[in-house]
Amino acid sequence: MKITAKTTSGKPNAAAKSSAPTEKPASKAAPIKPPAPIGAPAKPEGDAVAKPKRKDRWPESVMKLGYAQMPSILFWGQNKLELKPDEFNVLLQLVSHWWIKDQNPYLSKETIGRRMGKSARMVQRHLTTLENKGLIKRVERYKVHQGQDSNGYELEGLVKKLKEIAPDFEKATDLNKRRRAKAETK
């Protein structure tokens, strides 16, 4: 590839050869800003507040398999609910299958155990602990003329407990807002 370079006088220099492409003259447009780091929220132009979109965080190949809607207080309140990590994981498995308010999730202990890498017996122990803490209630289910099916799990106890601890988090959120506002005005 033959490229002629220009001399300082602006005339072409036929003797100069280069394999690199020549640079275009700089335009008078605004400078190009480097992209934000991965995971950083996009900064909106002007006073507009950019609402992050799910597709900006999760690729379509992940989201097409489905997703679960969970309240943040469930994560924040794990310690207040006195949940050990495996108990919390079992609870998340149940909540992730609770799509309609009046229809209890009904995962089998074997399914939960397989997902967690635990035995069905260990899952059963965690379910018993969650039931003793008042977070879930097992509901026996039966197939017509075929015997017992996997249990269903009522989650009203969890909802009630989250409502009870919500004021603590509302106070903390309010205090944080005031601290932020105070810091912004100094």
Tell me if 94 is assigned to some domain: yes
pLDDT digits (tens, 9 = 90+) for 102-124: 788 888 899 999 999 999 999 99
pLDDT digits (tens, 9 = 90+) for 44-96: 555 566 666 666 788 888 888 888 888 888 998 999 999 999 999 999 999 98
Tell me if 25 is assigned to some domain: no
Q: What is the DSSP letter of 42?
A: P
CATH at 82:
1.10.10.10
Work out the percent of the chain whose per-residue pLDDT is above 90.
31
**CA–CA dist 112, 124 (Å, integer):** 10
Structurally, the chain folds into a number of domains equal to 1
Tell me if 156 is assigned to some domain: yes
pTM, 2 dp: 0.62
Domain that holds residue 133: 72-175
Query: Tell me, what amino acid is at 161?
Result: K
Tell me if 15 is assigned to some domain: no
